[in-house]
Structure formats: C-alpha cells, structure tokens
C-alpha cells in the first residue's frame, strides 16, 4: 500500500518472482457509486479482500468486494437495502488493453477504477422490495380513477403534478 491511499498498491515485490502472491485487504468509502435507481451510500464502507498474483506480463487481482447498497423499489418506491458480495478477477498489465485490463504504472496498481467498475456493473437498475410487492400503497398514493360520467377524478398523485403544465400542441 502507498501511504494515504489504501487502493494504490506497490507490486514490485510480487512481480519479482512469477507465481508469487500477496493478500490485500482494505476498507474504504468511495463517493459517486450510484445509478438512477440504486447507490452505495458515501458513508457505507467497501470491504476489499484480494489476492495479488504475479503472472507473465502483469498481476492478477482476485477475491471479493463487499458492501451494502440502497435504492427505490420500482413498484412502490419504498426503500430497498441489500448487500453486494462480488467475486472479481482482473488483470493489471504494463500495456493494458482498453476495456479488458488495467494499467501498472511505476510498479503500482490502482485498485479504485476496478472496484468502481465492479460495483457499478453489479448495482441493480430495476430493484423491487420483494417478489410480492404489489405497488403503491393506495392510502398514500391514490390511483387516478374517474368518479363519474363527467370525468372528474379523485385527488392527483403529486409525483405527476409537473405533467399538468406539459403542452404537446404545436
């Protein structure tokens, strides 16, 4: 590890002998791990448990990344919380192939881009609270239903209020 950044790892000792390994464990908080419907809270730690192994032309990092995530149920918009346990195995090389491997620069590897990519690719874009979630709670978010023949409706859902001002003519 390099002082001050637990995800920046010096790999000189690992690269000296092909097949040599070193365990790396860290607990970090990373900002900006979010999609439109799910996120890792900024104060939620990521536990990283990897084994670095020297291979011809580079270093592999294999192990697990664990954290908690939260999002909104796509049916009822209630809070959903879960745990991510990600198995990963990635390659770091002196001459990385874009989109396939990560760089080794000055005998150091930066695990942060790999961790970010692994977590973001694993966050669900379509979460539900449970398989039996039936959607909005009618008392809290009423469904619009015509009350009579003249088309009057029950109270509007406030989440759709901005659409009242939308005009599509000309």
**93 inside domain:** yes
Residue 82 in any domain: the answer is yes
The DSSP bridge pattern shows strands 8-10 and 38-39 to be unpaired
pLDDT one digit per residue (tens) for the chain, 170 residues: 555 789 999 999 999 988 999 999 999 999 999 988 899 988 899 999 999 999 988 999 999 999 999 988 877 778 888 899 999 999 999 999 999 999 999 999 999 999 999 999 999 877 776 767 776 665 665 555 555 555 555 556 677 777 777 877 75
In this structure, is residue 103 part of a structural domain? yes
46 located within any domain: yes
Burial 17-47 (b: 16+ CB within 10 A, else e): eeeeeeebebeeebeebbeeebbbeeeeebe
Print the domain residue range for 92: 8-122
For 65, other C-beta atoms within 10 Å of its C-beta total 21
In a domain? residue 142 = no
Contact present, 15 and 21 (Cβ < 8 Å): no
**pLDDT tens-digit map of 40-72:** 988 899 999 999 999 988 999 999 999 999 988
Taking alpha carbons only, the member of 40, 41, 38, 66 closest to residue 126 is 38
Question: Which contiguous run of DSSP H or E holds residue 12?
Answer: helix 12-15
User: Which pair of tokens denotes residue 62?
Assistant: 């294999």
Q: Give domain status of residue 151, yes or no.
A: no
Total structural domains within the chain = 1
Give bridge partners of residue 59 from the DSSP assignment. 54, 92
């Amino acid at each position: 590890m390099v002082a001050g950044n637990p995800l920046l790892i010096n790999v000189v000792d690992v690269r000296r002998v092909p097949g040599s390994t070193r365990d790396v464990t860290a607990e970090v908080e990373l900002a900006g791990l979010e999609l439109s419907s799910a996120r890792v809270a900024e104060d939620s730690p990521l536990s990283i448990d990897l084994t670095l192994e020297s291979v011809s032309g580079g270093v592999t990092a294999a192990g697990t990344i664990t954290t908690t995530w939260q999002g909104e149920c796509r049916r009822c918009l209630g809070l959903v919380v879960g745990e991510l346990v990600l198995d990963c195995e990635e390659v770091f090389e002196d001459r990385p192939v874009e989109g396939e491997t990560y760089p080794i620069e000055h005998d150091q590897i930066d695990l942060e881009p790999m961790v970010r990519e692994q977590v973001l690719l694993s966050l669900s874009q379509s979460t539900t609270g449970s398989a039996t979630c039936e959607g909005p709670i009618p008392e809290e978010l009423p469904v619009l239903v015509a009350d009579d023949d003249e088309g009057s409706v029950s109270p509007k859902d406030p989440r759709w209020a901005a659409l009242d001002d939308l005009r599509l003519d000309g």
